[in-house]
Amino acid sequence: MPTSTFDIFRYQPDTGPEHFRQTYELEHDADLTLLDAVLRLQNEQDGTLAVRYSCRSAICGSCACRADGKTVLACMSQVEDLKAQNGGQPIKVDPIGNFEPLKDLIVDMDPFWEKFKSVKPYLVPDGPAPEKERIVSKEAMQKIYNESKCILCAACYSECNSLAADADYVGPAALAWGYRFAADERDGQRTARAKLYSGEHGVWDCTRCMYCNERCPKGVDPRDAIEKLGGIAFNEGVSWADAGARHAKAFLISMRTGGKLNETLLVPFTNPIKSQLDLPFALRMLSKGKAPSPIPHRIKKLDEVKKLMKNVKETI
């Protein structure tokens, strides 16, 4: 029987304000999950050890935590796999990131649920309800299949680099749900949703660190959903409202006029006022030869690109 060592984050607000770490050893069968390990420690060694869980089957999303720094569902992670990955070191177990701990591995999820609610994660159909159910084709459901798999475990939220820098960012899970309803053909709020998600702390705040896609235990790919919400904002014509959308627009204009990024256009177009105020910075860039040529580059066969830009239809 293998023996494993666990180095666990502790916080017991009833007995003291400080965070500390505690090491436990456990002899166990080869096929033990991290959640079962923590529950055995709780039952057999330390009844004060607090953890949140429910289904034990990767469905409820309650037991997300960090194992060796990486957010996982504890019920989906095998202790022996974690040891194989870390070279047999003690397994470091921490609460998920971007949250305040309440007790040991349990965090305060309230901000997450508030943001989730803020995207209106429910269908808002147009017109009166039909007499029978609304039939949706397989193709239409396929568009939102990935996002429908989200179990709200917050693994994406835990690792999001935008959130680490801006606690008000609505975050990947909420936006994935936003897309799931914005792209549902039964929903009548597509334009309103595009506007709602495109403001400050929304779609255009994603820093594209790709951690959400990497960590999601269910294959939701939240970053892809955020990207599709950008596409919906463009389709719905709300694309001028935010500096992030204008940034994307500058790429489209560059593409049409030369085929390469026109950096001269990018800065003033994205942020017209701020770029004026930033003159000293611009001059420093200029002195280092970092100011791009005002004459845009022009690739060969630009006519192909112009035709593609005219012809290719967006199906989002």
Partner 1 sequence: MARQFAYYPGCVAEFSSKELNRTTKALAPMLDIELLPMPAATCCGAGDIAEAKPNLYLTLNVRILSQAEEMGVDIMTICNVCTLNLRRANKLVKDDPRLLEAVNEELVKAGARPYEGTREVTHLLWFLATEEGLSLLEKQGPKGLKGLRVAPYYGCQLLRPSSVMGFEDPDQPQSLERLIRALGGEVADYEAKSKCCGFPILLAREAVALKESHVALSQARDSGADCMVTPCPLCHLAMDAYQRKAEAANATEYNMPVLHLPQLIGLGLGIDTSIMEFKRHMVPVNNVLEVVGS
Residues between 134 and 193 with contacts to partner 1, criterion CB under 8 A:
161-162, 164-166, 169
What residue type is 11 in one-letter code?
Answer: Y
Residue of the chain from 184, 225, 239, 265 that contacts partner 1 (CB under 8 A): 239
Smallest gap from Cβ 107 to partner 1, in A, equals 20
* DSSP per-residue codes, 33-82: BHHHHHHHHHHHT-TT-----S-SSSSS---EEEETTEEEEGGG-BHHHH
- A 10 A CB-CB count for 62 gives 21
Name the H helices within 87-221: 110-118, 138-142, 145-148, 155-159, 161-165, 172-182, 190-197, 211-215
Distance CA 52, CA 149 (A): 21
- With contacts defined by CB under 8 A, name the span among 1-9, 95-103, 180-188, 235-243 that binds partner 1: 235-243
Smallest gap from Cβ 249 to partner 1, in A, equals 7
Residues 279-298 that bind partner 1 (CB under 8 A): 281, 284-285, 288-293, 297
19 vs 290 by CB, closer to partner 1: 290
134 vs 290 by CB, closer to partner 1: 290
Smallest gap from Cβ 307 to partner 1, in A, equals 4
CB 196 within 8 A of CB 121: no
Of the candidates 225, 199, 230, which has an alpha carbon nearest to the alpha carbon of residue 314? 230
Smallest gap from Cβ 166 to partner 1, in A, equals 5
Smallest gap from Cβ 288 to partner 1, in A, equals 5
Smallest gap from Cβ 204 to partner 1, in A, equals 6
CB 73 within 8 A of CB 51: no
Distance CA 213, CA 178 (A): 16
Smallest gap from Cβ 145 to partner 1, in A, equals 15
Site string for partner 1, 87-126 (x = CB under 8 A): ----------------------------------------
Residue of the chain from 60, 192, 248, 282 that contacts partner 1 (CB under 8 A): 248
Tokens representing 247 are: 């940034």
**Three-state DSSP class for 214?**
helix
Of the candidates 173, 112, 184, 93, which has an alpha carbon nearest to the alpha carbon of residue 143? 184
Residue of the chain from 10, 70, 103, 115 that contacts partner 1 (CB under 8 A): 70
124 vs 209 by CB, closer to partner 1: 209
Residues 262-281 that bind partner 1 (CB under 8 A): 263, 266-267, 270-271, 274, 281
- With contacts defined by CB under 8 A, name the span among 6-14, 53-61, 184-192, 221-229 that binds partner 1: 221-229
CB 194 within 8 A of CB 183: no
**Three-state DSSP class for 248?**
helix
Q: How many residues bind partner 1 (CB under 8 A)?
A: 74
What residue type is 222 in one-letter code?
Answer: P
Residue of the chain from 46, 108, 208, 277 that contacts partner 1 (CB under 8 A): 208
Residues 30-69 that bind partner 1 (CB under 8 A): 69
- With contacts defined by CB under 8 A, name the span among 20-28, 49-57, 179-187, 213-221 that binds partner 1: 213-221
Tokens representing 23 are: 């090491």
Smallest gap from Cβ 127 to partner 1, in A, equals 29
Smallest gap from Cβ 198 to partner 1, in A, equals 11
Distance CA 277, CA 275 (A): 5
